[in-house]
Every structure is written in C-alpha cells, then in structure tokens.
A and B are shown apart, each in its own frame.
Chain A
Amino acid sequence: MAGDDDILGTSARGARGRRGRTAAEGSVVASGPQSGAMLEVQDLRVRFQTDDGLVRAVDGVSFALDRGQTLGIVGESGSGKSVTSLAIMGLHRGGSTTIDGRIWLSGEELVGANPARVRELRGAKMAMIFQDPLSSLHPYFKVGDQIVEAYRIHHPKDSKRQARQRAIDMLGRVGIPQPAVRLDDYPHQFSGGMRQRVMIAMALVNDPELLIADEPTTALDVTVQAQILDLISSLQAEFGSAVIIITHDLGVVAELSDDILVMYAGRAAEYGPAVGVFNRPEHPYTWGLMASMPRMDRELTTRLVPIPGTPPSLIRVPPGCPFHPRCRYSGLVGERCKTEVPVLHEATAGHASACHLTAAQKAREWSELSAGNVRDEVRETVPQGEVEA
C-alpha cells in the first residue's frame, strides 16, 4: 500500500480506476448517480420501529465504489455497518423497517425498487458472505447442492450437469482440494476456513459485480484469516468485482482496502483513502481505534489506549456529535460538540471527517498521540476562545 498522495482527482472514472470518491458536501441529495461509480450510496437512513422506540441504525451514510475497488467499513458493534450492507442487498424485512436515501447499483435505483427486481439482482449482480460460515450454510444440504442452487436460480436454462460442473470449478477456484469429491459433503464436514471458502465460492458463482463480505474472518483462526483475505483479494483481481469488507478489525482493512469508511453510531465518522485514514486519521474516534490497536512498528512498551465508555444507544443518540461523551477533545471546541451535529466534510482534500476540530487541531493532536503522548483530558491547555472554523 505504497503511499500515493494524489488521492483527490476529478477525472479517472474508469471501471478499473483505483480512486475513492468522496462524499458530496453535507447531505444534499442529488437527482441521479453523482459519479459514474458502479455502486453509489447517498444519505442512506435505516430506522427500525421497536417497542422501546425508534432505532436509528443508519443515519445518513454516503459512499461510492467502482469495480475492482475495495471499501473497508470499520466500526464497533452497533455502528450500523452490517445494517448498511443488508440495506444494499435488500435483505431488510418487515413493516417496522424504513429505508430512506438512495442506492444505485450500475445506475439502477435499489431503494424503493420492486422487491422482485432486487431479488433478481441478489446473488447475481451483488452477493454477500457472512461471518459464521457454519451457521450460514444450511446444515441439511450438501455443499454442492447449495452452490448449484445459487447458480441455477439465476441460470435456469442451464442443465443440472452444467451447474454441477460450474460448482466444481468454483470450489477449485477457491482452493478446495478434490472439489469433485467434496462437492457431496455437508458443511459440518469442512474445517472453518474451508467453509468460508465454500461460502465465497457460492457467492461468486454468478460472477457478481459487487461482493459484500461481512466480518469474513472474525470466526476464523488468525492463520486462516490471512488465507481468506488473500483469496478474496485474488478473486477480486480475477473477477474484477467491487468488494466491501465490513469489520471491526483494522488489521483486516489495512491489508485489502482502497478506501475506508469509519462508522460510529450509524453515521460516517471518517471516509477516505486507506493510506490517508491510516497515516493521518482525522477523527478522534479513528484515533482511538488506532491507539488501541497494537502495532508492529511501535515500541512494545507503548501503552495501548482504549476508548473510554461504550457506544451509545441508537434510540437515544446523544445530541450534537454522537461521539462527544467519549471524546477527549471536545473541550477544544467548547460546547459545540454537545449542541451541533458535525457534518462530514473534507478537512483535507479527498479525505472527509465529521468533527468540529480544525485541521490544525487535528494534525496536532494526532501527532501527539502517535508519538505516544497520551493525555487523559485535553482541555486545560487550550483556552476557550480558540475556536477555528
């Protein structure tokens, strides 16, 4: 992931462009796909009506993705990352779910579309793999049958034998030895890593343009993790699909992503190219994630700094910035964090964050933090008045 500082470009739209696209200013909704990107999400809101109240699981998220590119969505449990991907796939059900905003897949609008049409696209143009392959595969059916089923629903004219052959091919592609034999095994007869390969094979059997991987390695051993990530990466190169990886593990996204979207409390906290987000993160939450992560390029004696507190309830989201109750730096901008919701904007070019701190403040604090100087409460050294827009 060599540093390519030129990340903001107004050209380079091709299907193979490795460019992230930044969100538009604020949350203005345009009338069509902003860019020519394959997948574009604009101001997505997903709300669930429950007995306890209205849950704002996703509250205004926007991003875009091209074929051949990888977006990593990072966040804690409850940040809304899975909900976002399920919204794209159209897998939310029930009358108590409301989805607002726009999602375009190859120019076709998905929010509010005919469910039958979305079902046609599911598994064909967009596919998803899940966290636990043991519970995600049907225990009663053979692995081959499940893959064949995924194929034949979208290729009804193909014969069984053709579908079976395709399944064998896919199993081979994902690295399962003796695929023709293992086709007739049941999921519980595979190891964890092999099962995830099977899931990947099943997801890719119809050559989708978009693959969403929701915590694909969380349930696997560390050694197997690396294999799976490599597999995804190489398949992406081979098929040319766009990939969204959802995880809470920064190490995973560091490996694969072109762009990173950091989500917190259903909103985007930070969105930008991976290099930028890793080297110069611009949101206190991201700083917290970085600081709490052990790194190979640091002294072993450097203290890990966890983020204090817990994620907020999505029914009663804190006013103003949702992160402010846990933020060490909110004192730097006075009461603003408590009252005013920060908008996702580009403090530096091509790299957006939702925070009231000025670019200068951000740069300074980050350099302090990454040098290992941890201050518990950042308030006293900065006079109240120094607020920059």
Chain B
Amino acid sequence: MVVAACSSSSSSSTTSGTTPTSAGFNAATGSVVNASTAKGGTLTFDNSSGPDSTDAGNTYYAFNLNFTRLYATPLTTYSSSPGSAGLSVVPALATSLGVASDGNKTWTYHLKSGVTYEDGTPVTSADVKYAVERTFDRTVLPNGPSYFASLLAGNAATYKGPFKDKTGNATAIDTPDSSTIVFHLNQPFADFNYVVAFPQTAPVPQAKDTGANYQLHPLSTGPYMFQSYQLNKQYTLVPNPKWNPAWDPQVKQLASKVIVNLNVNADDIDNRLLAGDISVDQAGSGVQAAARARILSNPSLKNSSDNPVTGFMWFFYVNTQVAPLNNVHCREAVLFAANKNTLQTAYGGPYGGDIASTAIPPTVNGYSKFDLYNALSMPNGDVTSAKQQLQACGQPNGFNVNIAYRSDRPREVASATALQASLAAAGIHATLKGFPASSYYGTFAGVPTYVHTHSLGILTGGWGPDWPDAYGWGWALFDGKAIATAGNANIAEENNPVVNNLFNQLEQATTDSARVSISQQIDMQVMKDAVMLPAVYSKALLYRGSNLTNVNVNEYYGMYNYGILGLKS
C-alpha cells in the first residue's frame, strides 16, 4: 500500500495554497492575478492617513473613489475588466449609460429594479436626486468635486442644499417616477456619464441623512456595509446580506470582513505588507523608498510586485504672466533646456515614472505620442535649441526665474533642484522657493496674485484626471475659465481662446472619435503654448499581498481594483 501524499504540515509544495507562487513582476498590470471565487477571510487595509471622508458624497481621493464602491453604488462606474477596458464607464445603479438628448444637455437614467439599502428600504430616484443635492452645501460636505453645481441648469447657481433650504430643491433634476432620473445641464456636456460615475450619485435616504455624521455609518447599497467606525482609527465593513450582485457587476462580495486601519506609519505599512500582516496599502500610491529598495533588489519580492502607470503626471507649470515668461519663446527655452533624465531620477527613476513629452498622460483617451521639445530624443536636455529660443525672446544671455515647489515632498525638492541645474546650462539662473504642501494651492502657488507679486515663474505640480479624457484631465489645468483667485489649478494661467474653444467643442461632440481628435488638438496646442513642462508619467511600485485573489490594476484608478479583491482559502 503506497502511502499517498496526504496533507501534512510539511512545507512540501504539493499542498496548494501554502506556498504562493508569484505570478511575476507586473503581472497584475493588464491581467488578473490569482483569479478566484473563493469566499472568506479578512481583508486588512492600512492607510498612512485616511480618506477625506467615508461619506461617498464627500470624497475626492482616488483611492477612495475606488474603495467606496464597496458600500456605495453610483449611477455608473468604471469597468473591472483588465487592461484599457478599465478606462471605460459602464452602468452600475443605472440600467444603461445615460441617454443624451437636446444636444447633450439633457441626460436620462433608469435605475435597476429591486435595489435596496442594507436595512431593506427600497432605493428610489428621489434618493439619487437627494444625494446630489446634499453636495451643494459645501459647509457640510466640502470635499467632493463641484461639477454638479457648475453644470446643472435651473437654480443650481443659487441653491444652498437641503440642510439650509428645507423647502426648495435642485430644479434641474427631475424624477418623473421612482426609477427614472433626468439631469438638465446649462451647457452641452458629452462626458456626463463620467460625471455621474463619481460616488456623489450613490443614493442617500433623506430621512436617514445625518449630515456631517453620515460618514459614521453610510447606508450601504453595495456588497459591504459598515459595522463600526472609530474616527481616525479604524473602520470595519461586513458583508451586506441584502446585496444582489446584479446591482453592480463590477464589484464582488468575497471576503467575510474588511478592516481599514487609519493613520498607520507609512514605513510600518510597507513592513507589515511585506511580512504578510496586512493585505493592501489603501492609499495605493506605492511603497516608500526603503521598501522599494528592498523589493527591487530581491528577485522573489520583485516578482510579487507591480509597477503600473498611475494616471498621474508630475510636471512644472510655466506661468504666462511672470516676465520674461510672458514671451512664449522664453517658455520654450525652459522646456528645451530641461534635463529629463535627472527629472526622472528625482521622481524615483524608471520605476517611479516614464519620461513625459505631452500635456496629457497615456491613460487618458486622446493621448497621442509627440515630442515638440526633444524630451525623448535628447533626454539630457537640448541646450542648443534652448539658446536659440532665448535669442528669439530677447534674452540671449539667459534670465532669472524662481522655481516654486513643495518643500515637505522629497521628490519635489529633488526635481526642483534638478531643474535648476539643467536650466543653468542654458544660462537661465533659477532660485528655489519652497512652500508647505498643505497650503500650496490655498495660499501660495494657487493664488495668482501671490504668484505675480513673488514672481514665481516655474512651479511644480502633480495632477490626476477626474475622468480619463482631455476634459476630465485638463479643463481645470488649461481652460481660462478655470482660473480661480485661490485654490487655482490653472497655475500657468493659460487663457488661449483656441484652447478654451476646443474644450467647449469637446463637450458638444457626439462621437468618441470626434472627442479623441479634439483632445489631441488640445494637447498639441497646450504644448505649443509651452505652459507646461512635463516631467514624468507617474508609476507606482505596488506590492501584491501573497494571499490576495483577483489582483488587477485598474487603469483609471491607477492602483489595484479594490472592488474585486478576495483572499485565498
């Protein structure tokens, strides 16, 4: 009688699941690693700070737009299919993508039937309308995007939200019946399906809305619901027994518990991740420098990591109002002179990002590869062309300029320093000026009058797209109408009527191909205007926990898709 290979506690590789075989470096970018339908286990997320809010109507952080789908179902969402399919919006709470009419000014959605909250109360279109209305009150829910307030017609400009206006409502939103909702916009907006993909459209029952306290226990329409929340410390989700997978095919209900630990020391998170004590780093922006070095130098660790493009870009604004940069040729000199290699090193080397040459990153629809300033062909900088441009703008011996950056971000310190060095080679003398990150947009770089008074000609910036097309990426950066007196993101103060017009056309276009073409034109024009010096298309080094199943990088979120994760049994 041959002794069969029984499941002993030896570390023999015949027992499945005990010795994880890693699928290889970058395996989760483009395909799903450890695909499985196995249920059970506890998913532990650690975060070095936390979400801006757990209230789905009050959040903007990319990782949270990803995570809130576990308990909040918006009208549309991003596809969980691997690869570039993940950039497309697909219906979630709605039965199909919105039906446009009136030249893209009216959008109609039908809700799926039978959808309820975790307590069994049915979801109605009035709940979706209410969810959007409550975000109008920026004193209670300040964090989310403000597209609804700026796009909706009717009284949107003056409506104060249901907390302050007890009797009124947003007149631009109609609910003809309990499963239909109609949005009336004040301008054509072809991208509206993207706008409703924000969790601000996840339904909220007005009778149970506690305003600023709703974040403590939002009522779930997703696969998980809140069990407990200790503010700033931890929140725990458990499976929502009322959930039906048909309501959102893009998410799964696999783990039997989800724990999120907040305010954990960032290096600690990496150590715990590598030791297998936790499942995921919720922030999803990659490991810190120490762990990165460890992972890259250790083949077996490297095989369990992924290096996806995150959808973010790091770059420098080149301001059009600060002399002599108000002359386009001086701006072009800056773009020619910059040493792209040293910039890439500053942002983390090849694993930290790819050298960028366009104003739009590759994961945005409308990206096309072009290189007006020899960023790719001469990555160490093109001093000759720079000097020609200096002649053309009347500064043959170079000029003085200030570079503003966020001094508590080591990568920005390094990149500003690298840029300073490379500009010097062309005779442009740059002085570095550091600012605190938390008030960079509010008080310094984001305040045009401050920028003018202090002659901040070049300023660091980083940006992620609200949705993956040229409008969702670049409207706030390049449209003249986006310039604000504080919290400004169009820091270069680009106000070219050509570009402004292209953005309008983008939203009136009815076909995808038209939108792509317009996006490419925007990109080209912005680069010709030399208002942005692209540095890198950012990449993150993510570590794949060995017990995780269904690991896949979603190209829109730029990190692992949190809606489908599970654990090995």
Do A and B share a direct contact in the complex (Cβ within 8 angstroms)?
no
Residues of A within 8 A of B (CB): none
Residues of B within 8 A of A (CB): none
